[in-house]
Structure formats: structure tokens, C-alpha cells
Amino acid sequence: MTFPLLSDPEKATLEAWGAFGEKKMYGKTVQGVIRSTFLVDEEGKIEVAQYNVRATGHVAKLRRDLSV
């Protein structure tokens, strides 16, 4: 990879960025990680935030959208 990844065991960033909270899982409301994608610029500003993304096809769609 050509970019850093974040480890967030205390959930501080997840909560600050809205990626942890109530979600539906198998028809039940639970607390957990909300599958999300963030595009962050060189200064650390969030340019794009996508929530409740589907795993299947998401990377391919991002690559198309970003032309990479």
C-alpha cells in the first residue's frame, strides 16, 4: 500500500467520524462499526464520507470514481 492505515482500538476516530453506532444486523438493532469509506486529503480534511457501503463491488466503484 502507498498510504497509511489507522488502528483505532478505543473507537475515538470511529465515533468522531460517525462510523460507530446503531445499525441493523439481521433485523436487529445493534451497536457496532458502520462500514464506511473516507477520502482524506493531504491536510487531513475529509473530502468524501460514505456510510453503509456494501463490501461487494465497493472497491471497484471507488477505483472507477477516482480513476485509479
pLDDT in tens, 4-48: 888 999 999 999 999 999 999 999 999 999 999 999 898 989 999
What are the extents of the domains in the chain?
Answer: 39-68
Q: Is the pTM of this model over 0.85?
A: no
Residues 6+ apart with CB under 8 A from 18: 34, 36, 49, 51
